[in-house]
Chains A and B, each alone.
Chain A
Amino acid sequence: MNIQFKKGVLELCVLSQLSKKDFYGYELVENISKYVLISEGTIYPLLRRFRTDGYVTTYLEESQEGPPRKYYCLTENGREVLEELETEWNTFVNGVNHLLRSEVNEKE
């Protein structure tokens, strides 16, 4: 799949996950890669950018096992961006699906 395209979709996936609850990096990566084929290492740079853009904030929390975990929390700003991206995505998918279906209809 086109890399730029995949990146945009990945942004949407990450923001949408974070709108449901705060995640730490590993958990987020694990969750997304369960459904979408990605190089897991590319999520962290994305999260860094989200933080500098003010879409997320981070905080550290101790865990029972292992080192403290860095949690990511969606900001109001991030939520707005998510809504925009989601609308764009839905319009896009509907459009593509329409084209796919109409092509099938023509053949039939």
Chain B
Amino acid sequence: MKRNEYLNSLRSYLKGLPEDEIREILLDYEEHFAIGRDKGKTDEEIAVELGTPNEVADSIRQTLGKEQDSSAKQPQALGSTDGARKMLILILLIGLNLVFVLGPFIGLVGFLFGIFAAGVGISVGGAAMLLGFPVTFFIPGFQPGVITVIAFGIGLIALGILLVVLGVVLTKLLYKLTSAYLAWNRRLVNGQEV
């Protein structure tokens, strides 16, 4: 692997770290390649000795994890804290979601379902009114005006369609909010910047 290829690959593995941090890290490895070349080594030899960019990035991330620990003044709790912290956040999130989020979420889904059902129901009602109009001729003492019935029928169908459209819009919105919320949860567990 050539120098540039190696450094680019390393850079891509480090994505997510602060940009100036990445620049500093890459400088170290650039210097290493430069001196290695001066000593007559090929890029390939240097790359093999360094280990794969993936390995290097892993050990950098682990080291950064330790940095955060030591800045939190817990030098004894190395390594395992990251996993433990993840686990704790995961449990807290599951609790939070079960208690506070799941209920309202189900409520919202029910509400949406209700809107759809109402929309369809009202439309069908309007249609039935139009189609069923002739029947009224056979019911004694029940003679609504023709115009009134037709206007009501069309009005109800329109209202129903409007409700369905509203339902679609709200469903899309809920979908977006849900995926954003899930993504936020994932980021929280993975310990990246929120």
Mark A residues whose CB is within 8 Å of B. Answer: 4, 24-26, 29, 33, 39-42, 44-49, 52-53, 65-67, 69-70
Contacts and interface: CB of A to CB of B under 8 A. Distances in A.
Give 7 nearest A-B pairs by CB, closest first.
A39-B51, A41-B50, A41-B56, A45-B63, A26-B35, A41-B51, A42-B59
B50 A40 contact: yes
Interface of B: 24-25, 28-32, 34-38, 49-51, 55-56, 59-60, 62-64, 66-67, 70-71, 79
17 contacts: A26-B32, A26-B35, A33-B49, A39-B56, A40-B50, A41-B51, A44-B29, A44-B32, A49-B66, A49-B67, A52-B71, A53-B67, A66-B34, A67-B30, A67-B35, A69-B35, A70-B31
A66 B63 CA distance: 29
A70 B67 contact: no
A47 B31 CA distance: 14
B25 A42 contact: no
Given A42-B55, A45-B64, 6 more contacts: A39-B51, A44-B60, A49-B67, A66-B37, A67-B35, A69-B35
B38 A65 contact: yes
B55 A41 contact: yes
Given A26-B35, A26-B36, A53 B70 contact: yes
Contacts of B64: 45
B8 to A, nearest CB: 15
Nearest to A33: B49
B50 A39 contact: yes
Nearest to B68: A52
B164 to A, nearest CB: 58
A72 B32 CA distance: 14
A25 to B, nearest CB: 6
Given A25-B28, A39-B56, A41-B50, A52 B34 contact: no
A8 to B, nearest CB: 10
Given A41-B59, A48-B63, A25 B70 contact: no
Nearest to A53: B70
Contacts of B36: 26
B78 to A, nearest CB: 9
